[in-house]
């Protein structure tokens, strides 16, 4: 496929030997298209950073291949790969000015002086740091250092830009700004971005596609909407947003909750027996007793401002969280102890794989 900027084929990575060996990546395959904003999302230790460092060339896989524009780059050192990294710690050169930092990669590539100066100016303008060109990096704020790191990595016009949790050191407000900034930069430069984060909200808002990773494996790859609405397993459903997991019984392609009542969730006709149904808290409706398919008892209410969270208990003792949009009065009109009936929004209930 010529459209793939980066392809990882059957990558495994084992750190250490014998008893102490750790399998950081377990037969991971992924292909990332040209111009895509692709996110590797997972908890710490899931292997996402190892995969990123492998694409950069800092780690070599125990087995498998890395392809860049269809060519095998598995054995190429980092300084021979047209791939640049924005490091988590920024790793700016402390002895150089902002402009010298940005120019570094171009100089190492042996570009003519005029081109280096021109590209550096353009990059500094792109990240809105043209006023800071002559400063030392230690005189900049965290957000400005972040921009220098971005400009430095973008200046040599890499085929792929790797971002290793670049926003984790910033405070919340700055992080939101930089999220928008990153999307803008990606749009303007057209460069393929591979973004590593453990922040699911960051992943959902910024990415074209997300790969959710856990324990060295890719659990699911898809657009943010697909990942959120149709998680394939319990890990993905639990890691991305909040989810109610309900025990259910599958038979003849139909799924019935243990807590009572059928659902419109479907299951492959061959599958039967105990399954888990996932339903997002905002997809559950609360009605009068007897209304809907699922009788429940309201145990507690927590007011969150825009939302009110209702904690309910089903007949079989399992718990369900329901998120209601708070009405203008702020009072949802329910009291703890109330008997209610629950129903699910059509198509919202998902049967999970194992």
Partner 1 sequence: MANLEDRQDARSARNGWLLSTPALVLLALAAVGPLFIMLVYSFLVPGKYGNVEWGFSTDGWTGILFSRDIFDDTVKLADAHLTIFWRSIKLSLLTTIFTFAVGFPTAWFIATRPPRARPFWLFLITIPFWTNLLIRTYAINEVIRIEGLMNTILLKLGLITEPLRIIYTDFAVFIGMTYVYLPLMVLPMFAAIDRFDMRLLEAGYDLYATRWQILRRIILPVVKPGIIAGSILVFVPSLGAYVTPRVLGGGKQMMISNFIELQFGQGRNWPLGAALSMLLLVVVTIALLIYVRYANRETSHG
Task: Answer yes or no: are the C-beta atoms of 310 and 319 closer than 8 Å.
Answer: no
State which of residues 37, 38, 104, 239 lies at the interface with partner 1 (CB under 8 A).
Answer: 104
Q: Which is nearer to partner 1, 58 or 304 (CB)?
A: 58
Question: Looking only at residues 32 through 71 of this chain, which bind partner 1 when binding is defined by CB under 8 A?
Answer: 56-58
Q: d(Cα 317, Cα 297) in Å, to the nearest integer?
A: 10
Binding of partner 1 by 117 (CB under 8 A): no
Binding of partner 1 by 22 (CB under 8 A): no
Question: Looking only at residues 296 through 335 of this chain, which bind partner 1 when binding is defined by CB under 8 A?
Answer: none
Give the dihedral of Cα atoms 168, 169, 174, 176; nearest 10 deg: 0
State which of residues 43, 70, 77, 347 lies at the interface with partner 1 (CB under 8 A).
Answer: 77
3-state DSSP assignment of residue 50: helix
Sole residue written with tokens 């926003």: 167
Dig out the tokens for 350 from the structure.
């998902």
Residue 153 C-beta: closest distance to partner 1, Å: 8
Stretch that binds partner 1, among 42-50, 91-99, 175-183, 292-300 (CB under 8 A): 91-99
Binding of partner 1 by 78 (CB under 8 A): yes
Longest dimension (CA), the chain: 78
Residue 310 C-beta: closest distance to partner 1, Å: 47
Binding of partner 1 by 109 (CB under 8 A): yes
Using DSSP bridges, classify how beta strands 4-15 and 63-68 pair: parallel, antiparallel or unpaired.
antiparallel
Binding of partner 1 by 147 (CB under 8 A): no
Binding of partner 1 by 85 (CB under 8 A): yes
Q: d(Cα 64, Cα 68) in Å, to the nearest integer?
A: 14
List beta partners, residue 313: 297, 319
Q: How many residues sit close enough to partner 1 to count as binding (CB under 8 A)?
A: 27
Q: Which is nearer to partner 1, 196 or 284 (CB)?
A: 196
Q: d(Cα 74, Cα 9) in Å, to the nearest integer?
A: 10
State which of residues 67, 69, 87, 183 lies at the interface with partner 1 (CB under 8 A).
Answer: 87
Binding of partner 1 by 84 (CB under 8 A): yes
Residue 138 C-beta: closest distance to partner 1, Å: 6
State which of residues 3, 89, 205, 269 lies at the interface with partner 1 (CB under 8 A).
Answer: 89
Give the strands of the sheet with 217-222, arranged side by side. 83-86, 160-164, 192-197, 37-41, 209-214, 217-222
Contacts of 91 (CB under 8 A, 6+ apart): 149
3-state DSSP assignment of residue 205: helix
Dig out the tokens for 354 from the structure.
């194992």
Q: Which is nearer to partner 1, 93 or 303 (CB)?
A: 93
Residue 95 C-beta: closest distance to partner 1, Å: 4
Binding of partner 1 by 136 (CB under 8 A): yes
Residues in the chain: 354
Binding of partner 1 by 91 (CB under 8 A): yes
Q: Which is nearer to partner 1, 84 or 186 (CB)?
A: 84
Give the strands of the sheet with 273-279, arranged side by side. 262-266, 254-257, 244-251, 273-279, 350-351
3-state DSSP assignment of residue 158: coil
Binding of partner 1 by 75 (CB under 8 A): no
Binding of partner 1 by 20 (CB under 8 A): no
Binding of partner 1 by 21 (CB under 8 A): no
Residues that bind partner 1 (CB under 8 A): 56-58, 77-80, 83-85, 87, 89, 91-95, 104-105, 108-109, 136, 138-139, 152-153, 156
């Amino acid at each position: 496929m010529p459209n793939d900027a980066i392809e990882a084929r059957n990558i495994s990575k084992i750190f250490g030997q014998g008893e102490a060996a750790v399998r950081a990546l377990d037969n991971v395959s992924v292909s990332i298209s040209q111009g895509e904003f692709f996110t590797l999302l997972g908890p710490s230790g899931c292997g996402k950073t190892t995969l990123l460092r492998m694409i950069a060339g800092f780690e070599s896989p125990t087995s498998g291949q890395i392809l860049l524009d269809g060519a095998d780059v598995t054995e190429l050192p980092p300084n021979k790969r047209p791939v640049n990294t924005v490091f988590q710690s920024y790793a700016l050169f402390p002895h150089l000015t902002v402009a010298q930092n940005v120019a570094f990669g171009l100089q190492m590539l042996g570009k003519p002086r005029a081109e280096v100066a021109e590209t550096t100016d353009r990059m500094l303008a792109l990240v809105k740091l043209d006023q800071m060109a002559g400063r030392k990096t230690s005189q900049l704020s965290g957000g400005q250092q972040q921009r220098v790191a971005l400009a430095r990595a973008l200046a040599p016009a890499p085929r792929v830009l790797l971002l290793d949790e670049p926003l984790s050191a910033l405070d919340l407000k700055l992080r939101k700004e930089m999220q928008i900034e990153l999307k803008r930069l990606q749009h303007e430069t057209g460069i393929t971005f591979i973004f590593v984060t453990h922040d699911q909200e960051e992943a959902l808002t910024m990415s074209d596609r997300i790969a959710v990773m856990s324990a060295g494996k890719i659990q699911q790859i898809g657009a943010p909407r697909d990942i959120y609405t149709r998680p394939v397993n319990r890990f993905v459903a639990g890691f991305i947003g909040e989810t109610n997991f309900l025990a259910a019984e599958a038979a003849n392609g139909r799924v019935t909750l243990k807590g009572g009542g059928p659902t419109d969730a479907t299951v492959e006709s061959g599958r039967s027996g105990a399954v888990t149904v996932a339903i997002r808290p905002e997809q559950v409706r609360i009605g009068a007793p007897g209304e809907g398919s699922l009788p429940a008892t309201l145990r507690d209410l927590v007011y969150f401002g825009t939302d009110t969270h209702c904690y309910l208990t089903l007949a079989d003792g399992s718990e369900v969280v329901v998120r209601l949009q708070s009405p203008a009065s702020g009072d949802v009109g329910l009291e703890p102890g109330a008997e209610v009936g629950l129903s699910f929004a059509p198509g919202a209930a998902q049967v999970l794989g194992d």
